[in-house]
Structure 1
């Protein structure tokens, strides 16, 4: 079946898009695309979890037409509803461009790894954060300076909160989790924290210890339920994710038969997005539909949210403290009383404001012990700021 564009719609008709659109019908009301008799597929690149994008998706599927989107927020929040609509009308709902741009990770998990039981899926899911962290790493720059540069270059939005606070990565992780484990989308079950509070000293300490800091989205499914977290992590330099630099994305899936699958590429931008959208259109033209989440919505499992308290692992803790006698002893006592075993402890020189930085790496142990130690130190007069906790990716 040939693919032919018949109509387009956008907010600004006058904008120069570098292509002649005059041969196509221009539709001012985007929702009107769904009702046209000459339209078989609608492609949505509006963005946003609700509003015009969601209205267009609902109208398109209700009209019995296929729908292609790059909108991870809408899929993360409303994907099950839309998938059910698509099933009821026997039409396609495709969203390859919603996760990791042009990297064919959706197709890879849904089709290529279908014979595997996936134990874990994790990776670098936000190019803006990865650009900021790797630039801080290369230059020793502070977070605020690199963020401003990223905004000037167009890597970060004027309001970068969705990126730097981990929300964008969480949207993508929710989708990956559903595909990897055959579970219902559960965005609200993701523990999310971003890179806003990572400082140059953290980057330097990580490098000295043989790690690089990356914002990692990680999901695991086991007898305890579904665990999902987006969090800055210390990644060993021996791990492939430590070498993913700039605005690139990368996704790792661990299968029981294939072992480690590693997907890397450009995660955003017009070229990668267009590549993924056209790949979805080609599938539809070939008649390759299938359920949006690899199985019918009613067959998707709904596991409980797994607690992080029982997870075991190593952690990096950074404290900014008043440089005075007894501070180290106070922190060490909190670790001891909570059952945290310390692998290494480093204190750097005093800053002009009289503060010092203490960095601790723990031995492997239950995460609740580290959380308890930080709670014991809450409100301490010895601390001049909030402690920074980053888990160590020992995978």
Structure 2
């Protein structure tokens, strides 16, 4: 087999890149180690920046998102027993966020790939990347027990933090920046209609908590916990009691209780590799960078990456230009580091830690009071939260 661009990974980054390349008249093939069912049902965060929503709509992928997505014009910060609203739309000139599950985005993209007969192979194994620093890279893999080879002109590594793409780059060709946080999130899905129209971020001496939602009938909630937390020690009753303790406030609002259908622990880390390209290999999404979930940037950064990469590849094939491909890493990293800083800022401000002295805890409370009382500070948080606009 042969194609122009070989894409590894059928998550949001890989699927969107394939779709954008098709619109630009560039051939691609997508390889995915997981099953189609796994990809379509893997629950991940679903807060979409305004730029991500615009990108999906412009690409013709937003019809179901427009019908079923929940548009939010603000968020709330809860501390000292009081709720404080940040008006995202007013502070950013009309921009907003949309709550729409990542697995729903993936389903929409796979359905589009089916409709347009885009080559998409699930359940591949033994993927190996070869001759990346030459004009003729190729990828080997096993599909249905048979060894296969695809020759290509470019490889896009969209296969996540543990994928083969970044591991195929020589160690001395990359610089790694990383921070591992001393806490994690215990997340649940609950069959309970969300009883607040916006996300609520709570800072409490017992630990951070987050109220979110996945649909009009399903609530998504998180509790700060230890990275090595034993889920067997967390009964449903204990989870709800802890959530209600951390969300306690002066107006009496608390999340509605419902049957918990999923529990999991999400570790928290920041990670960036530089550069995001090597020879004919280009990394996108979690393969190149990880952010803690507090800032809701993970999938949005992946979308931003493939916007840049798809335009660079289109310019290469349509106009014979190489400058945009050459600048890919530099262009993406400017947004990546802004998102890393914002995610670090939100995480540090909202999470108490055993390492915090009373002095540090007072600093965090001071910062929360400042961002909820100062127009300038509120605007900084709002414009970063809804996502900085694309300059193209």
Q: TM-score scaled by structure 2?
A: 0.24
Is the radius of gyration larger for structure 1 or structure 2? 1
Q: TM-score scaled by structure 1?
A: 0.24
Larger RCO, structure (CA 8 Å, separation 6 or more): 2
